[in-house]
Amino acid sequence: MMAFSSLCHLNGWRACTALRVWALIVLLLLKSDIIVYSDSDYLIGLGSYDITGPAADVNMEGYSNTDQVASGIHFRLRARSFIVAERNGKRVAFVNLDACMASQLAKIKVIERLKARYGDLYTEKNVAISGIHTHAGPGGYLQYVVYLVTSLGFVRQSFDVIVDGIEKSIIQAHENLRRGSIFVNKGELLDAGVNRSPSAYLNNPAAERSKYKYNVDKDMTLLKFVDDEWGPVGSFNWFATHGTSMSRTNSLISGDNKGAAARFMEDWFEHQSSRKKVTVGFEDDGLPRRISNIIPSPHNNHHELLELAASFQSSPGRPAIKASSVARRVRGALRQVDRPRFVSAFCQSNCGDVSPNVLGAFCIDTGLPCDFNHSTCGGKNELCYGRGPGYPDEFESTRIIGQRQFRKAEDLFNGASEQIKGKIDFRHAFLDFSQLDVTINKGGAPETVKTCPAAMGFAFAAGTTDGPGAFDFKQGDDKGNPFWKLVRNLLKTPTREQVKCHQPKPILLDTGEMKQPYDWAPSILPIQIFRIGQFVILSVPAEFTTMAGRRLRDAVKTVLSGSKDFGPNIHVVIAGLTNTYSQYVTTFEEYEVQRYEGASTLYGPHTLSAYIQEFQKLANALIRGQPVEPGPQPPDLLSKQISLLPPVVVDATPLGVNFGDVITDVPKNSTFRRGEMVTVKFWSACPRNDLMTEGTFALVEALQDKDTWVPAYDDDDFCLRFKWSRPSRFSTRSQANVEWRIPQNASPGVYRIRHFGASRSLFGSIRHFTGSSSAFVLAA
């Protein structure tokens, strides 16, 4: 202070004033959350849109379990996008879907729409669409037969909402393009994934395994997007763990652990940016709530609250306008209209052999660990299940694994300091994986081998510890059995050449050579590289195992490191399940063991070598600035699709009952406490009549100022579940259960439960409705 005073005395009043101003600015920056970001050469834009599909009647994609049919919502699914563009140059668009995988047909249709809107600005080459691999989303949106069997064929409603959501999220990102910077950070997350096929991993060379500390990848890599004016506007990260925290018996639509992590991250940032305006609640475990505590407790007197609640009885079901559920949506109420919405995506990577069920696999009959080599219990695979950290509660396991990813992402986000700099570029090619020549090193000499037409092995039908199969199939089967071969031959007998090509895989389904009524499996696959400065994304149309992903990343990084255009810090991530889906890719050594992942490696033992060879070609073309051959176009099979899913014919209620009427209300004069469950049952209609896109089927409202009901929680909240049911498969009557597990920090006050829906008349018209429960008290 004395030095500052002396300086002022020596330099005069004006210099002293200037110094004081600068000192004050520095002090404010040091004591606040303000970070000054320099201008960048990039334009960045992010977008997000609802892709929640039909919450009734449609089989879930992932487990191939015919009994796993959607009947409600755990929380909603979204498409999240980022676009990065040079100011006067190239651009890339990356879309992350809360879906099991990307669909080749969906990408074809999205690109057609983007071309109609933007010309050649966005093409198949510079747009990547990736899936998080949740096994709790509606199926029926892929175009190949083998992936449509359990969904009773193609489900147009599932397909359309995904295509619409992808397009709208990209449009949002495009319209949000502004000057900004990108930062990258990387760190270990140790407790969100374990290897579910360790016996296959151990078949990899010991020298190779010794280079790695773990038998799964533990690194999360995160991009932080910072608008020059608004500051942080989003983050995308890549981390490998399966979307199988929710089990094969779950029937509620859910983004699983990665979808949950995205919700938590977006809500955390909402808290950070709005804490000076409103008080945002956090759960007792530190997870952000979905909404702010904008409802102050109007009364401290419990008797007074009971009297107030008693004046609001359940309202009969009544007509509503289509937009009413959108207008009452909680997240929409929170959104800041004067700045872009914060978008956070938790993307999938090489998750092929990585399970979120980190406690290990155990026999449900004995409680003992499953057999190490075959994942069986007394020879039966259907008794062996992996356990998540919240066992036996799958919702809790989903929350915990989601929270762990969110916490690591938050840490990386806050610590991101390495700025992305350099050019934007991309390369893309289609390849026929059914007959690709591959040069491998065998005994020190080059040898040319080929990939094979797609086929699935016997161990595919055994499933995994995340979702076991049925009958007498088991993992590690390299022989097959005569009975199932006889059944197989009724569909398609593989040729001698096909059998030889896939050895040691015994073929159960010769999908690559099955063409009726149309292609059963893909043969033409896309591979794609995005470069954003020193950050590189490898888009692969499959689930790579841990070691397969490591080999691919290392091979591409070696090529890129040979270019002076790249600095010493090259970040290479794998985006799994991207642009289309072709099941698994293992190493040659893992393939020999024929566990589930090896049996699901469609194009034979040299599949990984083919990917490495072709990605090296793309990488070389990238650094040399050379074009690549586009390759053969994949088929558009939309016109050939078959759907056997019965339509919704009509909805009905008992005589004298309205849609939206309450069947089971909260108890009269009831008081609940935090942690308790509030359940209300309504007369409802099939959710397929209206997906309530960007809206909600269920709502918790809080009373404000004695006469105003304000949205508090909706069906995109982790604590609120919408469960739909009908008494029989073809009944015209249905009911909706709304369950609210009251958060530990919910504000005391008066609340009610509300339901939105849409009914179909016999003549096909759709009528929207709503109904609400009686009010009840939440005590402090």
Catalytic residue list contains 235: no
What whole-number distance in Å separates Cα of residue 322 and Cα of residue 769?
Answer: 9
What whole-number distance in Å separates Cα of residue 54 and Cα of residue 693?
Answer: 10
SS3 748: coil
CA dihedral angle for residue 650, residue 651, residue 654, residue 657, rounded to 10 degrees: -130
What whole-number distance in Å separates Cα of residue 662 and Cα of residue 200?
Answer: 54
Sheet with 734-741, side-by-side order of all strands? 72-73, 720-725, 734-741, 677-684, 662-664
Element (H, E) at 539: strand 535-539
Q: Which of these, 530, 526, 525, 527, lies nearest to 622 by C-alpha position?
A: 530
What whole-number distance in Å separates Cα of residue 54 and Cα of residue 699?
Answer: 18
What whole-number distance in Å separates Cα of residue 374 and Cα of residue 559?
Answer: 38
Element (H, E) at 231: strand 231-238
Contact status, residue 292 vs residue 278, Cβ threshold 8 Å? yes
Q: 581 is written with which tokens?
A: 């889906």
CA atoms within 13 A on the CB side of 397: 25
Give backbone dihedrals phi and psi of 218, rounded to 5 degrees, phi first: -105, 0
Burial (CB count <10 Å: 0-12, 13-18, 19+), residue 564: exposed
Give backbone dihedrals phi and psi of 61, rounded to 5 degrees, phi first: -90, 130
What whole-number distance in Å separates Cα of residue 347 and Cα of residue 131?
Answer: 7
Q: 555 is written with which tokens?
A: 């091979």
Contact status, residue 331 vs residue 290, Cβ threshold 8 Å? yes
Q: Which of these, 262, 516, 208, 556, lies nearest to 401 by C-alpha position?
A: 262
What whole-number distance in Å separates Cα of residue 775 and Cα of residue 312?
Answer: 5
CA atoms within 13 A on the CB side of 395: 13
**Interior/surface letters 727-737, b for 16+ CB within 10 angstroms, e for the rest:** eeeeebebbbb
Contact status, residue 459 vs residue 468, Cβ threshold 8 Å? no
Q: 230 is written with which tokens?
A: 């608004």
Taking CA atoms, 764 is separated from 359, 405, 754, 767, in Å, by 50, 45, 25, 10
- At 661, the amino acid letter reads D
- At 7, the amino acid letter reads L
In 10 A of CB 74, how many CB atoms? 28
- At 205, the amino acid letter reads P
What whole-number distance in Å separates Cα of residue 715 and Cα of residue 694?
Answer: 11
SS3 384: strand
Q: Which of 40, 158, 355, 684 is catalytic?
A: 355
Task: Give the active site residues.
Answer: 355
